Amino acid sequence: MKCQKCDKQAVFHITELEAGSVRELHLCEDHARAYLNQAEAASGPPDTAEAGAGGAPGTLGVGQTADELAVLDQKACPMCGITFFEFRNQGRLGCPHDYLFFAKELEPLIANVHGATEHTGRRPAWARAAGGEGGAVAAGGVETGGAERGTEELTSVIGLRREMREAIGMEDYEKARENRDAIRAIEERRIPPVRPE
């Protein structure tokens, strides 16, 4: 997508709510910086802006939002170790557990992209075979049945592999062997997916 002010690639996508209407801006880095500097200058110094707005509690300034984002960027999944900063840069999550761990941050993004936060479509044949024909989806979009168990097992394999790499790095080969054996046991239990012909 191109910047609305020039022909460069848009890297900032800003959504503003103004008097009940939604305005979207797609800007390159230079124009986004200029836009944000204008918005900050228009609001004035923090003390005068608070006084002008009546000091409404819960209002965020540009600096506060950046501070909150810096804290959020450090949040890391305990299973795969991916940080929210890495997700924002790569656009990919590290494991299925990230959907639960970053649920609060991902829900508005998923709602914006897909228009809903619950799956309403069909499931692949191999998922129906693993989880039963019903294909039920629980509140919050988590599938019920065997498919959920399979996702938990895959997530645990990711965590075990991470622990195994850490154990090897610390030269704790006994722990690495235990993790390797646990991974093999999980992989042997998994039912191979049934592919339609």
Q: Where are the domains of the chain?
A: 1-41, 71-114, 125-189
Mean pLDDT of residues grouped by 10 in the chain (197 residues)? 86 76 82 81 52 38 64 84 87 84 86 80 70 44 48 78 91 94 84 55
Cα torsion through 40, 69, 22, 104, rounded to 10: -160
Q: What is the per-residue burial (b if ≥16 Cβ within 10 Å, else e) of 81-111?
A: ebbbebbeeeeebbbbbbbebbeeebeeeee
- Please, are residues 166 and 179 in contact by the beta-carbon 8 Å criterion? no
Residue 127's pLDDT is what?
65
Residue 176's pLDDT is what?
94
Residue 35's pLDDT is what?
83
Per-residue tokens: 62: 């540009």
Residue 196 DSSP symbol: -
Rounded-to-integer distance, Cα 36 and Cα 43, Å: 11
- Could you tell me the CA-to-CA distances from 64 to 45, 59, 61, 73, 118 in Å, in that order? 13, 9, 5, 14, 31
Residue 180's pLDDT is what?
94
Q: Which of 63, 68, 103 is nearest to 87 (CA)?
A: 103
Q: Which of 126, 122, 168, 161 is nearest to 147 (CA)?
A: 126
Written as one letter, the residue type at 190 is R
- Please, are residues 5 and 27 in contact by the beta-carbon 8 Å criterion? yes
